[in-house]
A and B are shown apart, each in its own frame.
Chain A
Amino acid sequence: MAAAETKPRRDGAGGAGSLAAPLALLMRLVDWPMRALQRLIGERRMAYVFILPNLAFFSLFVFLPLLINFVFSVTGGAGLFPSERPFVGAQQYGYLFDCGSFLDPSSCREDHFWRGVANTARFTIFQVTAMVLLSLLTAVVLNMKIRARGFFRAVYFFPVLLSPVVVALTWKWILQRDGLLNAAITSLGGERILFLVDPGWAMFWIVFVSIWAHMGFYTLILLAGLQAIPADLYEAAEMDATPRWRVFWRITLPLLWPNMIVVIVLALIRGVQTFDEVFVLTGGGPGTATLMIVHYIYETAFANQVQNFGLAAAASVVLGVVLFALTLAQLAASRRKGAA
Chain B
Amino acid sequence: MSRSGGNKLTRMMAARRKPGRWHWTDIAAYAYLALGVVLMFGPVLWLGLSSFKTQAGLLEFPPSLLPMSQKEVAVPGQAQKLPLFEVEMPDGSKRVLAQIRRVGIQAQMVDPANPGEVIRVPIDKRSPVREFKLATENYTEPLERFAFTRFLWNSVFVTLVATIITLIINSMAAYALSIYEFKGKTAVMLMVIGTLMIPITIILVPVYLVITKLGLVNSLWAVILPGAATPTGVFLLRQYMLTLPRDLIEAARMDKASEWQIYWRIVMPLAMPALAVLAIFSIMWRWNEFLWPLAVLTKTESYTLQIGLNAFQGELQTQWHYLLAMTVVTLLPVALVFVFLQRFITTGIANTGMK
Chain A contacts to B: CB under 8 angstroms: 1, 4-5, 8-9, 11-13, 19, 23, 27, 30-31, 34-35, 38, 43-48, 50-51, 53-55, 57-58, 60-69, 72, 80-82, 137-138, 141, 144-146, 152-166, 169-174, 178-180, 182-183, 186-187, 212, 217, 220-221, 224, 231, 234-235, 238-239, 241, 244, 262, 266, 273, 275-276, 279-280, 283, 294, 297-298, 301-302, 309, 312-313, 316-317, 319-320, 323-324, 327
Contacts and interface: CB of A to CB of B under 8 A. Distances in A.
A38 B353 contact: no
B210 A9 contact: no
A221 B288 CA distance: 22
A162 B334 contact: yes
A238 B13 contact: yes
Contacts of B343: 4
Interface stretch (B97-105, B125-133, B140-148, B201-209): B201-209
B204 A61 contact: no
B275 to A, nearest CB: 6
Given A5-B273, A50-B173, A298-B291, 8 more contacts: A34-B259, A51-B176, A68-B210, A69-B205, A178-B61, A212-B39, A235-B1, A238-B13
B202 A320 contact: yes
B interface, over-half SS: helix
B290 A183 contact: no
Contacts of B30: 146
A31 B261 contact: yes
A12 B355 contact: no
Contacts of B209: 65, 68, 72, 80-82
A141 B52 CA distance: 36
A61 B40 contact: no
Nearest to B25: A244
A19 B156 CA distance: 14
B273 A309 contact: no
Contacts of A152: 33, 36-37
B114 interface: no
Contacts of B273: 1, 4-5, 8-9
Contact of B334 (A30, A163, A171): A163
Closest 8 A/B residue pairs (Cβ): A65-B206, A57-B229, A163-B288, A68-B206, A54-B173, A50-B176, A47-B180, A34-B260
B338 A161 contact: yes
Contacts of B63: 178-180, 183
B309 interface: yes
B191 A154 contact: no
Given A162-B331, A173-B50, A183 B62 contact: yes
Given A169-B323, A170-B43, A12 B291 contact: no
A44 B185 CA distance: 12
B92 interface: no
A213 B157 CA distance: 26
A11 B279 CA distance: 11
Contact of B36 (A4, A45, A138, A164): A138
Interface stretch (B73-81, B116-124, B164-172): B164-172
Interface centre among B10, B169, B202, B344 (most CB of A within 10 A): B202
B206 A298 contact: no
A47 B345 contact: no
A48 B177 CA distance: 10
25 contacts: A4-B273, A8-B344, A12-B275, A44-B180, A48-B176, A54-B172, A55-B188, A61-B210, A65-B203, A66-B206, A72-B209, A141-B33, A160-B355, A166-B309, A166-B327, A170-B46, A183-B61, A220-B350, A234-B1, A297-B201, A309-B205, A312-B205, A316-B202, A316-B204, A327-B197
Given A27-B264, A221-B353, A212 B173 contact: no
Given A38-B259, A66-B198, A166-B330, A72 B206 contact: yes
Interface centre among A153, A262, A313, A324 (most CB of B within 10 A): A313
A263 B332 CA distance: 29
B242 interface: no
A105 B25 CA distance: 47
B6 interface: no
Contacts of A234: 1
A171 B273 CA distance: 36
Contacts of B225: 57, 61
Given A35-B260, A163-B306, A165-B306, A145 B350 contact: no
